[in-house]
Amino acid sequence: MISNLGKSILLHLKGHFENVGVWKESFFVLLFLFIPMFVTFYVTDINFISINRKLLLSFGKNSIFTYFLIVLLRRGYPFKNSKNAFLTSLLVPLLWTIIYSYLFGYYKNYTSYFYNYFGANMLFVFCYSLSYIYRSISVKMFIKRIISFCYTIFLFVCALPPVTCFVYFRKYHRPIDDFSFMSILGTNFTEAKEYLLTIFSQNEIMMFAVSLCGIFAILYYVVSNFSKIKVTDSEIALGTFLVCVLASTGIFYHYHLKIFPFDRYKSLYRLDGGPLYVFSEFKKNVHRNAGTVQILKNDSQKPQTVILVIGESANRDFMSSFNSELKENTTPWERSMRRSKSFIFFDKAYSNFSNTVMALSHALTNVNQYNGIELKQAVTILDIAKKNGYDTYWISTQGKGSIWDAGITVIANQADNVKWLRGYDIAVVKALNSVDKSRNNFIVIHISGSHHNYAKRFPAAFSQKGVIADSSDNRDYKYSLLYTDEVLKKIFQYANRKLSLKAMVYCSDHGEDMEYCHVSDPFFYSMVRIPLWIYLSPDYVNKYPETFDRLNNNRNKVFTNDLLFDMMHGILQCKSNYYEQKYDLTQAEYFLTKENARTMHGERRISDDPE
């Protein structure tokens, strides 16, 4: 009986598929999805056969599978009888193929773009199958409009990945990498708005907004029109079946984990070094690691205060205290302090990476580009100071807790006292009132500095001083450096007067490029050129003249800020079981030269800097 039933079904299907028009129509639908890709191959002179064999195999399997699904859809609900539904289901996949064809034409080695063609095919089948269910819903018109709106939102969200990739590409001429995607994940509305206003012109933002509204309006229009088409029970059953199959099996999982944004998210958590996986391991182990710290030498005075100020996006090329050829005096206080014997300025300092969390996760721990230690094994400079008898403070105007700065938050929470402030950077001076001047204090101050949008980093009245001409290039950025100079001056004056300041270090997390800000790709050395200066009080110099002399002798040497951990050991006059003398700028044995110095976590050589 079962055998007869099976034969009956096969004969029934055979009768349907004997219609040659079904196969031809399905073939042309599939071909239509691939047209942008083939055009790209022709225009950019890509040899299809020479493409990675694994990709070609996946391409073939996907094409065959998609083709037969389209055949099934064609028999279940002919395209010519539901043109609006067909076009709606095709709009987003077509957008994928057009944009990713364009991107793949520029970057032939980025195979993730090639995988997006597979996703477009599967997305078409999924959307068209979903339309069966959508059209079967029979409710009041008001409810129907709400459902239409929700379905449009679903399609619109599906359209965002290629649009996002395209916009990013138009600005940076690179695909979105792990670190850029982390920035996107950790960005709130205010930060996103400031970023867009900094990177793009108002006309570009307006054009982008109008384009998004246009895409949404088109989708909603066609969705609303085909919602009135009637479908049969068998068509509903077929659509439900295909949606369930595609959603519950590994088909969607297999292809869509290889396309943006799922490929980037997966990469962030990869076990062989994904950034977010590394940070999660660091967070898991940080307290245990701190318990292993042993102080082998301690020669600090009491009471005393040591301050480490971490700047944001400060490029020394735009600081008059480092660049004497600069027309404007963007750092008047620091420039005047450069003439003081108590201040030592280092003109060849670099960041170890071009964004905050990647740079500071090395700068504030014993992990650096040269020792091969993994972050999960790391201890922080706060752990060292605490073990050395200091009350530790973390004062920040940058906020906490997002996915992007999670690594920094883990480090900050190692301090005895943590303060997250709002407002301008000058707020950190008031926060110093809570520091007990009768005790040893180690204070890390993390300011917003010159983070984009630059004009938001200082009060509007501050720019009315007329120090920087209105016609000056990068005016707002220069004013942000001028404001940071004022903040550093206030911190120094207060600590010197009230907190028995013995040493103060200022170093930026990374630099800034005036066109591309600070990203990992494309990379420019302006993104990692940073300021570094050290103040040592007269009392400190009298007690430790060798430290002062060695720092002066090393002032013209290259320094990367992932060596701050060991340098601060020297400033604190202590040694721990995690200290390595050759990485300490306060020592004669300091090993770094322009030839062996690295940045971007070892991927770039400082000797290649055209400066």
Q: Is residue 551 one of the residues assigned to a domain?
A: yes
3-state secondary structure at position 298 = strand
CA distances 557 to 345, 418, 562, Å, are 11, 34, 15
For residues 250 and 361, state if they share a domain: no
Q: Find residue 576's DSSP bridge partners.
A: 295
3-state SS, 7-48, equals: HHHHHHHHHHHCCHHHHHHHHHHHHHHHHHHHHHHHHCCCCH
Most confident region among 34-48, 68-82, 277-291, 394-408 by mean pLDDT = 277-291
- In the DSSP assignment, the letter for residue 501 is E
Same structural domain for residues 455 and 406?
Answer: yes
Domain hosting residue 153, numbered range: 1-228+244-269
- DSSP-derived letter for residue 320 is T
Within 10 Å of residue 401's Cβ, how many Cβ atoms?
Answer: 11
- Name the pLDDT band for 466 (thresholds 50, 70, 90): confident
Residues 428 and 532 in one domain: yes
Is there a domain that residue 298 lies in? no
Residue 216 forms part of a structural domain: yes
Find the CATH number of the domain harbouring 477: 3.40.720.10
DSSP state of 380: B
Lowest mean pLDDT among 34-38, 167-171, 306-310, 433-437: 34-38
Domain count, the chain: 2
Helix (H) or strand (E) holding 384: helix 381-387
Element spanning 286, H or E: helix 275-290
353 and 413 together in one domain: yes
Whether the per-residue pLDDT at 258 is higher than 80: the answer is no
Q: Are residues 248 and 341 in the same domain?
A: no
Q: At 585, list the tokens.
A: 């700028």
Alpha carbon separation from 167 to 115, 190, 378 (Å, rounded) = 19, 19, 38
Query: Tens digit of pLDDT for each residue in 492-539?
Result: 999 999 999 999 999 999 999 998 888 888 899 999 999 999 999 999
Per DSSP, 590 falls in state: -
Residue 2: which pLDDT band, with cuts at 50, 70 and 90?
A: very low
In this structure, the answer to whether residues 451 and 558 fall within a common structural domain is yes
Clarify whether residues 19 and 77 are in a common domain. yes
**pLDDT digit string, tens, across residues 92-131:** 777 777 777 677 666 655 555 555 555 566 666 666 666 6
Say yes or no: 255 and 308 in one domain.
Answer: no
DSSP per residue over 508-570, as a string? ES---BTTTBS-SSS--GGGTB--EEEEE-HHHHHH-HHHHHHHHHTTTS-EEGGGHHHHHHH
